[in-house]
Amino acid sequence: MFLNELFPNKCKVCKKEIPFNKIICESCEDSLFQPSLLKKTSYNIYFASVYEEPLSSLLKEFKFKENIHLAKIFSKLLYRTYKHYNIEFNEIPEIIYIPSIKRHLKKRGYNPVFLLAKEYSKLTGFNINNKLKIQKRYSKSQVEANNYFERIHQVKNKFFFEGVKEKEYIIIDDVLTTGATLENAIKTINNYVVPIILCKNVKNI
Ligand SMILES: [Zn+2]
């Protein structure tokens, strides 16, 4: 008797039996693709999906249990979005990802968005640019921030960019909530940047 007869592998979403190297079945994977576009004054934000079930649960598993196979599924969604909207560049863009706060990196040991960037780089052949960083020191206003959450929010939004100017970039992130972090990152990079985000949190947009 084969092992898969004893312990069949099931799709995390619909519970249908699937091959051992899969996490979800093809039709569930396909149903995650819900592309949309948010037009801003100076740039468009492209979304591959929506932050709702089953994606929200899968994303939690990815972020807290480091499930690399999910990075593959999610990066495919980013890639499909890029193709779907036929996003054009004048040159081969580089991939920038939203960096993790040091404290989060320490706790998790990895940045989930970096894993997404790595898989996305494999699919597109575009190089990763890791020159977007979070400022280490708190500015005066951050120290003076009224409460813990306000302070964290501000720290999260302080970036600096050491990359080459006059280049074109794709910036990726997992969830867009307020859009403030992304906006700050794009302003800091100050080049042609196209944001492709895994999912939007509809409650906040
Ligand atoms: Zn399924």
Q: Which of 176, 161, 168, 157 is nearest to 192 (CA)?
A: 168
Q: Which of 33, 52, 60, 44 is nearest to 204 (CA)?
A: 52
Q: Which of 118, 114, 111 is nearest to 97 (CA)?
A: 114
57-75 pLDDT, tens digit per residue, is: 999 999 887 787 899 999 9
Pairing of strands 159-161, 132-134: antiparallel
Residue 55 Cα to ligand 1 midpoint, Å, equals 12
Residue 84 Cα to ligand 1 midpoint, Å, equals 23
Residue 8 Cα to ligand 1 midpoint, Å, equals 14
Residue 24 Cα to ligand 1 midpoint, Å, equals 5
Residue 17 Cα to ligand 1 midpoint, Å, equals 8
Q: Ligand 1 being an ion, which residues bring their Cβ within 5 A of it?
A: 11, 13-14, 25, 28
Cα angle at 194 between 191 and 196, to 5 degrees?
A: 145
CA–CA gap between residue 16 and residue 69 (Å, rounded): 18
Residue 21 Cα to ligand 1 midpoint, Å, equals 14
The rounded percent of the chain whose pLDDT value lies above 90 is 63
Residue 22 Cα to ligand 1 midpoint, Å, equals 10
Q: Are 132 and 161 in contact (CB under 8 A)?
A: yes
4-41 pLDDT, tens digit per residue, is: 567 789 999 999 999 988 999 999 999 999 999 999 98
Residue 28 Cα to ligand 1 midpoint, Å, equals 4
**Domains delineated in the chain:** 20-204 (3.40.50)
**Among positive and negative, which fits the CA dihedral 15, 16, 18, 23?**
negative
Residue 128 Cα to ligand 1 midpoint, Å, equals 31
Q: Which of 129, 192, 131, 132 is nearest to 166 (CA)?
A: 192
Quote the mean pLDDT of the chain: 86
Residue 45's pLDDT is 96
Pairing of strands 168-176, 192-200: parallel
Longest dimension (CA), the chain: 67
Residue 29 Cα to ligand 1 midpoint, Å, equals 7
pTM of the model: 0.85
